[in-house]
Chain A
Amino acid sequence: MATILELFARGELEKIDPQLAADEMEERQIFLVAGVADRLNALLNNMVYPWDTETTPAEQLDELVYHYATGGALDYPRQFHNLVHARDGIWELKTPDLRLFGWFPVRDCFICSDIADANVVKQTGQYAGYCEQAWFRRERLDLDEPKFLTGEEPSDVVSNCYRT
């Protein structure tokens, strides 16, 4: 069994660099399970996104990572939910075109096990499958117990998530 830093040192986790300015502090972190980065690059290069917005899925992801890392609000009452609990400690971070599935081993630290095209996930009803896969990858990861935080409210896993 290993800590997050040991898994990072062993190459089993990659950390997303939020590319902050010198006066910005990283308040939250996102790690990728090994292999997710390659799948993400492939997805972003081949993705057809229907919303035809000014920002591409890669730019939306950068904005979400930036907002998350700098401690921005991730949930508002009744609307605009960027962070949603799926089940069994599996969480979903959302942009208009992407879904990030994973879990929080400690507060403010998200381990992402999959990134998917939101439109494909919605059209084909793959939510359960991605959650199952995240659960399976969490089980396989050689991470110290407890491997994930329980709780179904965003405030259970992220600090200051209700306010910017």
Chain B
Amino acid sequence: MSFQIAIAPSRRAAARFIGKVRRRLQQALVDEPDVTRSDIARALDVHRSVITRQLSGHQDMSLGRVAEIAWTLGYEPEFVMRRRAELDGDNKPVLAIPAQEMKVTSSSMGASERPASIKAKVPA
């Protein structure tokens, strides 16, 4: 018999996304042996324990803090959204309508640059 952790699919997606971001920051810190948590804390004018708690998952991080830590480590974060259908395996039936990809970077995105699927949903 298999055991499933009972949480809503949307919360599952949220928890896994938060985990991926946090773990990516942990990896970035490990990849920069010359930068310590104290260095990050000094650069962001917070106590070292705040950075430790945020990176270890004992304290939430705002999106701004994610970007700040990434920047301090020499990275620029990027946020990518893909339609869930694109993630399905080879057994998934082919969709009649091709799935869209939406990619958001730190640069602003003008209305003329938006994919058609987003134009319809975002007021001009």
Contacts and interface: CB of A to CB of B under 8 A. Distances in A.
B12 to A, nearest CB: 6
A142 B46 CA distance: 53
B30 A77 contact: yes
B30 A15 contact: no
B58 A62 contact: no
Given A79-B30, A164-B27, A96 B57 contact: yes
B2 A60 contact: no
A11 to B, nearest CB: 7
A14 B41 CA distance: 43
Interface string B3-40: 11111000110111011000110110110000000000
B101 interface: no
B92 interface: yes
Interface string A6-31: 00000100111101011100000000
B117 interface: no
Contacts, number: 95
Interface of A: 11, 14-17, 19, 21-23, 32, 37, 40-41, 51, 53-56, 58-67, 72-73, 76-77, 79-80, 95-96, 164
Contact of B58 (A15, A32, A40, A96): A96
22 contacts: A15-B1, A15-B2, A17-B2, A21-B87, A21-B89, A22-B92, A53-B57, A53-B59, A54-B14, A55-B57, A56-B7, A58-B7, A59-B11, A62-B15, A63-B18, A66-B16, A66-B19, A67-B19, A80-B26, A80-B30, A164-B23, A164-B27
Given A14-B2, A15-B3, A76 B19 contact: no
The 8 A-B pairs of least Cβ separation, nearest first, read: A22-B89, A59-B15, A63-B19, A17-B2, A22-B88, A63-B15, A96-B57, A76-B30
Chain B interface bracket (under 10, 10 to 19, 20 to 34, 35 or more): 20 to 34
A40 B58 CA distance: 21
